Structure 1
């Protein structure tokens, strides 16, 4: 019985020793850690998938507005665009991006989502895996397997770095979510555990140093659009990994670098809304409009 792993190197060793995929190793780890049966653990993840699907459907079909009124409706708008016109990035990519945006808009309107790994980055994983499942005709069982692969990557990042914007900037939130999604997508597409971690490493490298600067301190803007970019990042990185392209820097070292970079990001750019886009003239006006005060605390 597999017990636990602490980093990507450990995970790959277990995959080779046990001749298992990442998702299989992660399920066995959960059985060991939680003391629950495989059926119980699978049922919980099936429940997560249902919530994710509902959030995507709600965001793409309904006229969503956030509590502040700052965001809403863009996911539905993008869907109309890719369904009626030839797009630059293609329907498949746009579907994933719109789905990711949909979940963030549902979150901003106080709807139910799965924080994967956080509320502010919750659109990327479902947007990528569920859209890919639809496009390639995968059944829900394959998507659930992808979620377990993603969970393994998220666990490693959480254990060795952070997924909190307040600690590591947006690179830690949307970066981690994109890494999770890329790894899950690679295994769903038949890739190896090594390829999955190369995909995860490349997604983080692509946005290393990304700041967290929510306008008016709300998880709305630029969060929705950064989830869109995160979904695209995951798709691109997964394709590169499946093509045999490798990350020059190993996954574990990329995670370590992300954490150190996050510690170097000024406090004003780590979810405090005191810098970046939040500190622009327009950002300040939005704060005043939302809270009725010129002073940002």
Structure 2
């Protein structure tokens, strides 16, 4: 019962009448030889770490070791408290949580790399903000994480999750796709609808480069986490409204892999291109590491 493609994943879900979350749960049981309870408890531990990282930066100002980023999650949380946010509390809360996890990561705090440390803020922000809006309990959130896992596995098998190999589309893009699929399931959508949401997300981020200022996972990474969270939530809503992707999920994953391979080395986590080498980007690098001799 191992799916290597999105198409095979849907076939299995339809055959056994199971959700994406249930597929991932059964996969882990079979692969690791664990009981259902053991697998769920492992995910529960991940969830608790996610909750902590997503909230820490909202409750207090958290700054990175380099000093390049910090305090933004706190600002947005205060903005929410004032009321009247143009895009509503759910989207703003998702942005705040995504930034919080990114800030915690950059401050050497504890996060869950899902699927990578550079994109660690997206999935927690999406799961927690959507779960709160939907009134889901902890088990509902855990199922959402399993649903996201099933999509992440397919992407990992057929493309890449590494910015150094495929650009930021592979990191934040994959995390956002995983989040969108999870939210659709959390809202009662079918596995097919979940993959539609993931496919639309990937189409929207094709070509997103990885250009970290000073080579650190901070600028523009943190704000891309916020954007990725919002994209996931919006695409979930789009699919739940009845919109489908004209391009199948597997095709979008294949396209993402090929686009990533086509990106020059300077735009794949080397800090040799993009905003990393802009006037201000180089100035910030000097601020952190000093002038090059």
Specify every segment of 5 or more residues in structure 1 that has no aligned partner in the other structure, as ranges.
Answer: none
Equivalent of 1:183 in 181, 184, 202:
181
Equivalent of 2:94 in 92, 96, 102:
96
- Tell whether the 8 Å contact from 2:61 to 2:71 is kept in structure 1 after alignment: yes
> Runs of 4+ in structure 1 displaced over 2 angstroms?
none
- Tell whether the 8 Å contact from 1:168 to 1:270 is kept in structure 2 after alignment: yes
- Tell whether the 8 Å contact from 2:210 to 2:267 is kept in structure 1 after alignment: yes
Task: Report the CA distance between 1:271 and its aligned residue.
Answer: 0.3
Match of 1:28 in 2: 26
Match of 1:171 in 2: 169
TM-score by length of 2: 0.99
Match of 1:72 in 2: 70
Match of 1:275 in 2: 273
Specify every segment of 5 or more residues in structure 2 that has no aligned partner in the other structure, as ranges.
Answer: none
TM-score by length of 1: 0.97
Equivalent of 2:129 in 124, 128, 131:
131
**What does residue range 26-65 of structure 1 map to in structure 2 within 5 Å?**
26-65=24-63
CA distance in 1: counterparts of 2:292 and 2:245, whole angstroms:
46
Match of 2:249 in 1: 251
Match of 2:111 in 1: 113
Give the root-mean-square deviation of aligned CA atoms. Answer: 0.8
CA distance in 2: counterparts of 1:110 and 1:293, whole angstroms:
25
- Tell whether the 8 Å contact from 1:284 to 1:294 is kept in structure 2 after alignment: no
**SS state of the match for residue 5, structure 1?**
coil
Equivalent of 1:228 in 208, 219, 226:
226
- Larger deviation: 174-183 or 54-63? 54-63
**SS state of the match for residue 64, structure 1?**
coil
- Tell whether the 8 Å contact from 2:102 to 2:225 is kept in structure 1 after alignment: yes
Task: Report the CA distance between 1:294 and its aligned residue.
Answer: 3.1
Q: How many residues align?
A: 293
Match of 1:147 in 2: 145
Match of 1:211 in 2: 209
Please give the per-residue CA displacement for 1:102-144, whole angstroms capped at 9, x wherever unaligned.
1001000000000000000010000011111112211010010
